[in-house]
């Protein structure tokens, strides 16, 4: 005589294990969401931005460099595809200052290019509401 499938202990064990794992999955997701709602830093860390002042000087007397091209680049993570590369293109004013307000708080690269000076590029980790970054351009290498 064959045991009905519903009462078979092997099948019933698998069903119980599957139901238990689904229950634990739902409980863990609910707990993670409630923790994220309670913690304002976890919720706002994605949306946190920095107001950035970039001061560009050059030469032995640290003269301000006007009309220099300033490039800010960073990556925006995406779920299913490669990270999206974002970029801000700025120019310095007569005082050698480039200002931008909504830069996300993450690792960015700042590149500065001006004719007659060596190009500059460096990574920075932004972690404050307002940051001032001072960049000193060097003279180009001498060609013979």
Give me the phi and psi of 6, to 5 degrees please: -65, -35
User: In a structure prediction context, what are the per-residue pLDDT tens digits for the chain, which is 144 residues long?
Assistant: 565 555 556 656 667 777 777 777 777 777 766 655 554 554 456 678 999 999 999 988 999 999 999 999 998 888 888 888 989 999 999 999 999 998 999 999 999 999 999 999 999 999 999 999 999 999 988 877
Is the domain defined by 48-137 classed in CATH 2.60.40.1120? yes
Beta bridge partners, 104, equal 49
**Phi/psi at 141 (5° precision):** -65, 150
The reported pLDDT for the residue numbered 9 is 60
What pLDDT score does 43 carry? 44
Residues 87, 123: contact at Cβ < 8 Å? no
Kindly report the backbone phi and psi dihedral angles of residue 120, in degrees, each rounded to the nearest multiple of 5, phi listed first. Answer: -120, 140
Going from N- to C-terminal start, the domains of the chain cover 9-41, 48-137
As given in the structure block, the two tokens for residue 87 are 């970029």
């Amino acid at each position: 005589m064959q045991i009905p499938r519903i009462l078979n202990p092997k099948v019933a064990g698998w069903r119980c294990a599957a139901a238990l794992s689904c229950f634990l999955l739902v409980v863990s997701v609910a707990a993670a969401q409630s923790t994220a709602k309670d913690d304002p830093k976890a919720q706002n860390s994605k949306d946190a931005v920095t107001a950035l002042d970039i001061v560009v000087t050059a030469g032995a007397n640290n003269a301000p460099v006007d009309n220099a091209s300033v490039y800010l680049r960073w990556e925006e993570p995406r779920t299913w595809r490669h990270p999206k590369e974002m970029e801000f293109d700025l120019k310095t004013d007569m005082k050698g200052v480039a200002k931008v307000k909504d830069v996300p708080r993450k690792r960015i690269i700042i590149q500065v290019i001006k004719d007659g000076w060596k190009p500059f590029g460096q990574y920075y980790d932004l972690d404050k509401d307002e940051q001032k970054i001072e960049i000193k351009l060097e003279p180009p290498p001498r060609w013979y």
